[in-house]
Amino acid sequence: MDAVYFLVQQMMFFSIPLLIVALGGMFSERSGVVNIALEGIMVAGAFTSILLISLLQSGMSGQILLLIAIAVAIVTGALFSLLHAYAAINLRSDQTISGTALNMIAPASAIYLARMIQPNGVQQVQFTNTFRIEKVPFLGDIPILGRLLFQNAYITTYIGFIIFGIAAFVLYRTRFGLRLRACGEHPQAADSVGINVYKIRYAGVVISGALAGLGGLVYVIPTSTNFNATVSGYGFLALAVLIFGQWKPLRILGAAFFFGLMKTIASAYSGIPFLRDLGIPSDIYKMVPFIATLIALAFTSKRSQAPRASGVPYDKGLR
């Protein structure tokens, strides 16, 4: 039973960032802009916020510092994604190309800046993890559930769930959500009823940037003690989650937990007896999400739920 608790607690560390980033990607793609820059934006968000933590941690610690870092990660991600939004929306350039560019710029800049700012040209940004919550008061004492969710946890986990709830609500229950979906499916229709497609798409991309930036921080905090200008493909994995989840919040939640579980097993299986006995090496578990996505794509592509106008620049002049 301890193994299960351990597994679930660990799984949160891997699943929540995937969930947050994939939900971000959902807002971008459902507004009609493909965002393969999620990886780069995660790196950018993680870099500034971790750097901030490493600079402030001598005088500050715990949840306050984490909340400040979260704000910084969100703002960084949102600002960085503006580059993508400008290229994709105003200039109608190829969204894959500009996304690729961001994915290159972010880690290179992070290393460059880290080495310029830190003494001796060190590229890793070290930080002390003072953010883990041993046990949430009251809630942590609930039988079973308490140990699963409210012990050995981070507030980022709860933030992740809150974001999920808000995202689903915004997408399906609000005017903004309705208009966002219209822009991703049929921007000409949205335009003809007076919706500003450019504005909505900007909103979609910036939300994705904010969430991806946050996701970068959320990924690094529980899994490492330094930041080395990489989120090891997590942005791309989130993209896979988004596709596997068919651009729908609830399915994205499921996919994020499935992929997170695979990652958890890959990194922690040696600590869990029955998995250790299976003898499957960690590299195989790491491959599983990607292979699963490929297989899912192969079977569902004919009736894919991808937003129809996703990736297609909207040109007012051509309406």
Partner 1 sequence: MSDYIIQMINITKVFPGIKANDNITLQLKRGEIHALLGENGAGKSTLMSILFGLYQAEEGQILKDGVPVLVKDPNDANELGIGMVHQHFKLVHNFTVLENIVLGVETTRHGTLHMDEARQKVMTLSEQYGLLIKPDALIEDITVGMQQRVEILKMLYRDNEILIFDEPTAVLTPQEIDELMRIMRSLAAEGKSILFITHKLAEIMAVADRCTVLRKGKYIGTVDVKSSSPQELAEMMVGHKVDFKIDKQPAQPGEPALHVRRLSVEGSHGDKKAVNNVSFDVYKGEIVCIAGIDGNGQSELVYAITGLMPSTGEIKLNQAPIDHQSIQKRIKAGLAHIPEDRHKHGLVLDYDLQQNLSLKRYKTIEMQRHGFIRFDKVRSYAEGLIERFDIRSGQGADTSARSMSGGNQQKAIIAREIDIDPEVLIAVQPTRGLDVGAMLYIHEQLVKVRDEGKAILLISLELDEVFQLADRILVIYEGEIVAELDPKQTTPQELGLYMSGSKRQEEYA
Partner 2 sequence: MSKIRKSLSSMSASLVAILAGLIAGFVILLFSNPSSALKGLTTILIGGWNNGMKGVGQVLYYATPIIMTGLAVGFAFKTGMFNIGATGQLMVGGFVSIYVGVTWTFLPGGLHWVVALIMGAAAGMLWGMIVGVFKALLNVHEVITSIMLNYIALYGINYMVKNSHLFDSLKNQTVNVAASAVIPKAGLDRIFYIAKGRLNDPSAVNAGILIAIGLAVLMYIILNKTTFGFELKACGYNRHASRYAGISENRAIITSMAIAGALAGTAGTLMYLAPASGMHIHVEEVLAAQGFTGIAVALLGMSNPLGIIFSGLFIAHITVGGFYLQSLKYMKEIIEVIIGLIIYFSAFSLLVRDLIAKIGKRKTKKDKQSSKEVTA
> 169: which residues sit within 8 A by CB, 6+ positions away?
none
User: Which residue is associated with the tokens 């901030």?
Assistant: 52
Q: Which stretch binds partner 2 (CB under 8 A): 21-29, 90-98, 136-144, 253-261?
A: 90-98
The tokens of 310 are what? Answer: 């996703």
- Identify what 126 binds: partner 2, partner 1, none; CB under 5 to 8 Å per kind: none
Exactly one of 109, 124, 151, 224 binds partner 2 (CB under 8 A); which one?
A: 109
> 129: which residues sit within 8 A by CB, 6+ positions away?
221, 222, 225
Give whichever of 175 and 302 is closer to partner 2, judged by the CB atom. 302
Give whichever of 73 and 89 is closer to partner 1, judged by the CB atom. 89
User: Which residue is associated with the tokens 């060190």?
Assistant: 122
- Asked if 301 touches partner 2 (CB under 8 A), the answer is yes
Which x/- pattern over 200-239 shows residues binding partner 2 (rule: CB under 8 A)? ------------------------------x-xx--xx-x
- Asked if 191 touches partner 1 (CB under 8 A), the answer is yes
> How many amino acids of this chain bind partner 1 (CB under 8 A)?
19
Closest CA to 283 of 272, 291, 294, 274: 291
Q: Which stretch binds partner 2 (CB under 8 A): 5-13, 164-172, 209-217, 276-284?
A: 276-284
> How many amino acids of this chain bind partner 2 (CB under 8 A)?
45
In what helix (H) or strand (E) does residue 94 lie, and over which residues does it extend? none
Residues 39, 236 contacting (CB under 8 angstroms) = yes
The two most distant CA atoms of the chain are separated, in Å, by 63
CA torsion 266→269→274→279, rounded to 10°? 60
Cβ of residue 102: shortest distance to partner 2, in angstroms? 7
Closest CA to 201 of 86, 31, 78: 31
Cβ of residue 225: shortest distance to partner 1, in angstroms? 42
What is the sign of the dihedral through the CA atoms of 304, 309, 312 and 318? Answer: positive
- Asked if 199 touches partner 1 (CB under 8 A), the answer is no
Q: Can you give the binding site for partner 2, defined by CB under 8 A?
A: 36, 83, 87, 91-94, 96-98, 100-105, 107-109, 111-112, 115-116, 121, 230, 232-233, 236-237, 239-240, 243, 281, 283-284, 286-287, 290-291, 293-294, 297-298, 301-302
